[in-house]
Amino acid sequence: MPFAIPKTIYTGKIKEVVLGRGPKAITVGGETSYPFHLFEGEMPHPPRIALEVYDTPPDNWAEAALEPYRDVIGDPVAWAKKAAEVYGADLIALQLISTDPNGLNAPSDQATETAKKVAAAVEIPVIVNGSGSPDKDAELLRKVAEACDGMNLVISPVVEENYKQIGAGAIAYKHTVAANSPIDINLAKQLNILLGNLGVPDRQVIVDPTTGGLGYGIEYTYSVMERDRMAALTQQDERLQFPIICNMAKEVWKTKEAKAKTEDAPLLGDAARRGIIMEAMTATLLLLAGADVLVMRHPEAVRLVREMIKDFSA
């Protein structure tokens, strides 16, 4: 008697969302099964990878992460072009860290101009991340949305404290919002409901569940993403049927294991290889949990993850 693989019956489907515009626009979502369960359903669009670009030179990156970008580190436009043209990024994730009120606290107008230049310089979709301060981002991301009218950026992070201001800008200027909640499925669903009630179309929403790095809370992220996909696909929960984005690079590379130099931690092995493997392993776990877009940093880690996606999709 031949063995029959047990199959889950799915009654839901992840919504499709288009990011960017023109010939290089990409579509994410559309899954009708758990991640890479191609024997049970479809995964019409492969996961996509964004490479980080900072609007000001980072002062706390590991040497291994700095090396691929050392020649463009002070020019976000050149950095974005290199990420797209040399390293083949599917998207650019512009991190407006200069606006952090606890850091440089750069004016919103200055950062907005940077975002506009970067978005105009590349043909691939652009994610614009604020500082993470709800008040500052409410002003900043609304200005970015207006300045980049019609470019269909991904505006992030949108949280419960500022979803009205940023969501209204996304509606008016036709952008996608990344709904960010603190690793909690109920809070994620609630924010999706609030955005829907505000009038943000489902085709302009993706979910950012907040990401922990390998060894630093990734099991919580994995659990929330897994529950999200279960509710979306087997329980027909329409307010969880959105693609997922994971802004993971900063969480991986800020860990002591990724930043420690080889000579300071010889038992951990080569520092460059260590950080790359940590990023690739974190990305792989998130893919298995259901990530549609990964925000990554090191080109070699990206290469490894793309090979993994190819293997998973075979």
Q: What is the pLDDT of residue 4?
A: 83
Q: What is the pLDDT of residue 247?
A: 97
- Give the per-residue SS3 of the chain: CCCCCCCCCCCCCCCCEEECCHHHCEEECCCCCCCCCCCCCCCCCCCEEEEEEECCCCCCCCHHHHHHHCCCCCCHHHHHHHHHHCCCCCEEEEECHHHCCCCCCCCHHHHHHHHHHHHHHCCCCEEEECCCCHHHHHHHHHHHHHHCCCCCCEEEEECCCCHHHHHHHHHHHCCEEEEECCCCHHHHHHHHHHHHHHCCCHHHEEEECCCCECCEEHHHHHHHHHHHHHHHHHCCCHHHCCCEEEECHHHHHCCHHHHCCCCCCHHHCCHHHHHHHHHHHHHHHHHHHCCCEEEECCHHHHHHHHHHHHHHHC
Q: Within a domain: residue 243?
A: yes
Q: Within a domain: residue 10?
A: no
Q: Within a domain: residue 68?
A: yes
Q: Within a domain: residue 300?
A: yes
CATH code where residue 268 lies: 3.20.20.20
The stretches in the chain having pLDDT less than 70 are none
pTM (two decimals) = 0.96
Q: Within a domain: residue 53?
A: yes
Q: Within a domain: residue 9?
A: no
Q: What is the pLDDT of residue 118?
A: 98
Q: What is the pLDDT of residue 173?
A: 98
Domain containing residue 207: 17-313
Give the number of domains in the chain: 1
Q: Within a domain: residue 8?
A: no
Q: Within a domain: residue 128?
A: yes
Q: What is the pLDDT of residue 306?
A: 98
Q: What is the pLDDT of residue 6?
A: 86
